Amino acid sequence: MNILLVYPRVAETFWSFRHALKIVRRRSAFPPLGALTVAAMLPGSWNKCVIDMNVQDLKDADMTWADYVFISAMIAQKDSARQVIDRCHNLGIKCVGGGPLFNSYDQDYSDVDHLVLGEAEVNLPPFIADLAAGAAKHRYDSKEHPSLQATPAPLWDLINLKDYSSMSIQYSRGCPFNCEFCDIIIMNGRVPRCKSNEQVLEELNGLYDRGWRGALFIVDDNFIGIKKKVKGLLRELIRWQWQRNMPFTFFTEASVDLAEDEELMNLMVVAGFNKVFLGLETPSEESLKECGKTQNLKRSLAESVSIIQRHGLAVMGGFIIGFDNDPPDIFQRQVDFIQQTGVVTAMIGLLTAIPGTRLYQRLEQEDRLLFQASGDNTDVAGSLNFIPKMDRQMIVNGYRWVMSTIYSPEMFYQRVLAFLRDYQPKAKTFREGNDILTFFRSLWYLGLADQKCGRDCYVRLLKEAFSRYRNSLTDVVTLSIYGYHFRKLFWSPHIPLQWEEWWAGQFHPREG
């Protein structure tokens, strides 16, 4: 049996890092972890091939080689996935869909020959058995949440690691919290399930033996879901990393209550973590209450960010605009919060109702749902798929202003300085020759070739970093390269930095 696993192209979004990738000379930011994991679950005797369309084209010859095309996708790959499905139909090849896109929007994929939904650990074995017996059904959709202790290590040999700027592994699935808008708890449940420490170390060995060094994303829904267990893992990670001279620099996703656990932050930093993505969402307490994000209300959010950054973990933040309780000054408040706390990489999205979530159910009951969201919450046209309480145009205009403002060169570099004042890097991280080349390329793209305003700001920042924050120099260059990508996507020099000035030129709902 020949199986072709396809990872469709992701739309250009905040996370595609397209403009940054050309500076670091990589084709894509992250590997197709779901497809590689599924490949490892297929019978050993089957031939497997992975095509990640973000690094190479999918040719008809690749497709006709296959008996089955397995498509692994999330919502941001919807358009490309549709093209792959249509190509399968035209070429007469059977296709199988799995992953978050098909889980959430299964009704749109009745033409896919087989939908293997939920977690592959549960639904793939019966599909494979039926396939072997020549009696495969259209749909396998058990919602059971299996233990991860039998999940195999991804088949890394099916991709070229050098195409990616970061590798990924998964330690756990699920999150104990119950935020109204989040579909993770629908997909993966509220009781976190972890791999064993041995499994994680085996996956790390697999990457290390294949020559990977540098960034490694632990893609968990909430890495600190079970604090006691994760501390045990971190102690083993520290030993593993130190024995090999710290080959990996980790980053992950966690909840804000990380700030309350000194020991956990210290263990993470010693193990080589230098960044953490937190769902900060909003400085408006009323909006946090509305969405049930109680973990963000325990202490001041700004203080939590500061504590985490002082421990040596750079905070990347997710923020949301569009809650019913958002006050009219939410736009300015979000900008002020982000600037003051020095959350350099800030992903602000419009609130989106995803099927299956408590938010979706509530808006459905209130008859406020409008259309199916694009899935990219930074896309003003395709997000905000419900009737908001605040005037819709005001939210869209305000959102554009927030994005353009925080990614304007002036505000961005000011924010990096605010971050440097708090951040105390401690992680002994791996440095490679490529870092130096990247630095010189950044000088070209962000220094010489950029617009005057961006260029001047970057040079000023580098001078400041050289004189006062030499330990953070690599972080400064990396953050600036990310910032360059965001600036290309979101900054408009025509949008003034002053809210009043922008607002004066806008449509005013009350005036009609």
Collapsing DSSP to helix, strand or coil, 315 comes out as: strand
Asked if residue 373 binds ligand B12 (CB under 6 A), the reply is: no
Least spacing, CB of residue 56 vs ligand B12, in Å: 15
Q: Smaller CB distance to ligand B12: residue 124 or 259?
A: 124
Q: Among 85-93, 180-188, 388-396, 408-416, which window interacts with ligand B12 (CB under 6 A)?
A: 180-188
Judged by CB under 6 A, the chain residues 444 through 483 that form the site for ligand B12 are none
Asked if residue 385 binds ligand B12 (CB under 6 A), the reply is: no
Of positions 30, 181, 337, 386, contacts ligand B12 by CB under 6 A: 30
For helices 301-310 and 409-422, angle between their N-to-C axes, nearest 10 degrees? 70
Collapsing DSSP to helix, strand or coil, 28 comes out as: strand
Least spacing, CB of residue 417 vs ligand B12, in Å: 26
Asked if residue 98 binds ligand B12 (CB under 6 A), the reply is: yes
Rounded Cα–Cα distance for residues 25 and 387 (Å): 42
How far is the CA of 246 from the CAs of 212, 223, 472, in angstroms? 12, 20, 17
Q: Among 12-20, 449-457, 463-471, 487-495, which window interacts with ligand B12 (CB under 6 A)?
A: 12-20
For helices 409-422 and 473-490, angle between their N-to-C axes, nearest 10 degrees? 150
Asked if residue 349 binds ligand B12 (CB under 6 A), the reply is: yes
Asked if residue 101 binds ligand B12 (CB under 6 A), the reply is: yes
Residue closest to ligand B12 when measured from CB atoms:
98
Asked if residue 219 binds ligand B12 (CB under 6 A), the reply is: yes
Asked if residue 388 binds ligand B12 (CB under 6 A), the reply is: no
For helices 473-490 and 433-442, angle between their N-to-C axes, nearest 10 degrees? 40
Q: Among 13-21, 224-232, 446-454, 504-512, which window interacts with ligand B12 (CB under 6 A)?
A: 13-21
Asked if residue 199 binds ligand B12 (CB under 6 A), the reply is: no
- Dihedral of CA atoms 203, 209, 210, 214 in degrees, nearest 10, equals 80
Structure tokens, 502: 């922008």
Asked if residue 281 binds ligand B12 (CB under 6 A), the reply is: no
Of positions 20, 21, 93, 96, contacts ligand B12 by CB under 6 A: 96
DSSP per position, 272-302: TEEEEEEEEE-S-HHHHHHTT-GGGSSS-HH
Q: Among 120-128, 267-275, 410-418, 466-474, which window interacts with ligand B12 (CB under 6 A)?
A: 120-128
Q: Among 198-206, 374-382, 444-452, 462-470, which window interacts with ligand B12 (CB under 6 A)?
A: 374-382
Q: Which residue has the tokens 């509530």?
A: 362
Q: Among 97-105, 232-240, 336-344, 403-411, which window interacts with ligand B12 (CB under 6 A)?
A: 97-105
Rounded Cα–Cα distance for residues 221 and 132 (Å): 34
Give strand pairing partners of 3. Answer: 48, 68
Asked if 255 and 207 touch (Cβ cutoff 8 Å), the reply is no
Asked if residue 158 binds ligand B12 (CB under 6 A), the reply is: no
Total number of residues that touch ligand B12 (CB under 6 A): 42
Q: Among 57-65, 116-124, 334-342, 504-512, which window interacts with ligand B12 (CB under 6 A)?
A: 116-124
Judged by CB under 6 A, the chain residues 391 through 410 that form the site for ligand B12 are none
Asked if residue 291 binds ligand B12 (CB under 6 A), the reply is: no
Asked if residue 109 binds ligand B12 (CB under 6 A), the reply is: no
Asked if 113 and 365 touch (Cβ cutoff 8 Å), the reply is no
Asked if residue 203 binds ligand B12 (CB under 6 A), the reply is: no
Q: Smaller CB distance to ligand B12: residue 34 or 454?
A: 34
Report the Cα 180 to chain-centroid distance in Å.
19
Q: Smaller CB distance to ligand B12: residue 32 or 454?
A: 32
Asked if residue 252 binds ligand B12 (CB under 6 A), the reply is: no
Structure tokens, 75: 């919502």
Rounded Cα–Cα distance for residues 436 and 166 (Å): 17
Of positions 203, 221, 257, 450, contacts ligand B12 by CB under 6 A: 221
Least spacing, CB of residue 63 vs ligand B12, in Å: 15
Q: How many other C-beta atoms are found inside a 10 Å radius of the C-beta of residue 96?
A: 24
| CA-based nearest residue to 106, from 189, 98, 134 | 98
Rounded Cα–Cα distance for residues 298 and 304 (Å): 10
Structure tokens, 48: 């497997």
Sequence-distant (≥ 6) Cβ neighbours of residue 22 within 8 angstroms? 445
Least spacing, CB of residue 53 vs ligand B12, in Å: 11
**Which region holds residue 92: left if phi is over 0, alpha if psi is between -120 and 50, else beta?**
left
Of positions 24, 70, 373, 403, contacts ligand B12 by CB under 6 A: 70
Sequence-distant (≥ 6) Cβ neighbours of residue 274 within 8 angstroms? 249, 250, 251, 312, 313, 314, 425, 427, 429, 475
Positions in the binding site for ligand B12 (CB under 6 A): 10, 13-16, 29-30, 32-35, 37-38, 70, 72, 74-76, 96, 98-101, 104, 116, 119-121, 124, 168, 170, 173, 183-184, 188, 219, 221, 349, 375-378
